[in-house]
Amino acid sequence: MSANKQQIEFWSGGGGDYWVDKQFEMDTMLNPLGQKAIDSLHIQKGDSVLDVGCGTGTTTLLLSEKVGPEGKVTGLDISVPMLARTLELAIENNKTNISIINKDVQENELDEQYDHLFSRFGVMFFTDPITSFKNLKKSLKADGSFSFVCWQHPSKNPWHTKPLGILKKYFDLPPAQPRAPSPFAFEEKAYLEEILKSSGFSKYSIDDNQENIHLFPNKSSYDAAKDFMALNPIISNALQGMSDDEKEPIVTELAEVYESHKNSQGLEFESATWVVNASS
């Protein structure tokens, strides 16, 4: 049985399907943050890049533009529906330099070596991050570079903590387990350093990035509240078994909070991320 069984089931099941359906909303929120990591890679035409946890393929497409037709980009993910969307996106945009791998890098080494590794919020869900990062490093050429972006502490990300505060009023959420697979697994800078050192990266930087982000453009506050509750795997699991009538007061109260953050671009919140760059 895979050590990542729960993550695989969520991202290849309803969670993955929902992210495909809400691709535009998620890209609006995450693209500016992911771009910081892409820009730090200094990608050249003809390079090969592995997009780790590529999701629905938007970053894979951006990377394919960077490497040009003579280069190649490989999207790696455990989510079958998300990888299917990545291939659709490649076909829609006539990209022949994109391929995909459905593999859990925690349990499998990769067959190729790449000039660069990249990830936009795709490396925080491993039950054994050191083994996973060791396997990723083995797939990196000797002079290659690895750049990824991940969330800092939830207290610095009110887009998460404000809705969570409302949800906790209605039911018991499982207590956050420090360093456990989750969007905030890498909130501690010291833990990131430990993972990078233990997996063989001798050179690295972990830079603080704080900027406002926009969520759920073109959505009512009510619909945005429903989407938020479905997109987070921890919250989605906690809501299983609740009827629509039971969820209604939660959605209504969350929508009131969202309304106070609404502007012409969607819902605006502060965010804090780490932009990590590493090499051998």
Contact call for residues 32 and 99 (beta carbons, < 8 A)? no
User: 105 is written with which tokens?
Assistant: 């890098």
CATH of the domain at 206: 3.40.50.150
Number of domains forming the structure of the chain: 1
Q: What is the pLDDT of residues 177-210, one digit of tens each?
A: 899 998 999 999 999 999 999 999 999 999 999 9
Q: Is 259 a member of any domain?
A: no
Contact call for residues 106 and 79 (beta carbons, < 8 A)? no
Q: Is 223 a member of any domain?
A: no
Q: Is 234 a member of any domain?
A: no
Q: Is 181 a member of any domain?
A: yes
Q: Is 251 a member of any domain?
A: no
Nearest CA among 104, 103, 86, 107 for reference residue 95: 86
Q: What is the pLDDT of residues 28-52, one digit of tens each?
A: 999 999 999 999 999 999 999 999 9
- Give me the pLDDT at residue 2, please: 56
User: What is the rounded distance in angstroms from the CA atom of residue 46 to the CA atom of residue 72?
Assistant: 7
- Please tell me the pTM assigned to this model: 0.92
Domain that residue 73 falls in: 5-157+177-217+269-279
User: What is the rounded distance in angstroms from the CA atom of residue 75 to the CA atom of residue 151?
Assistant: 21
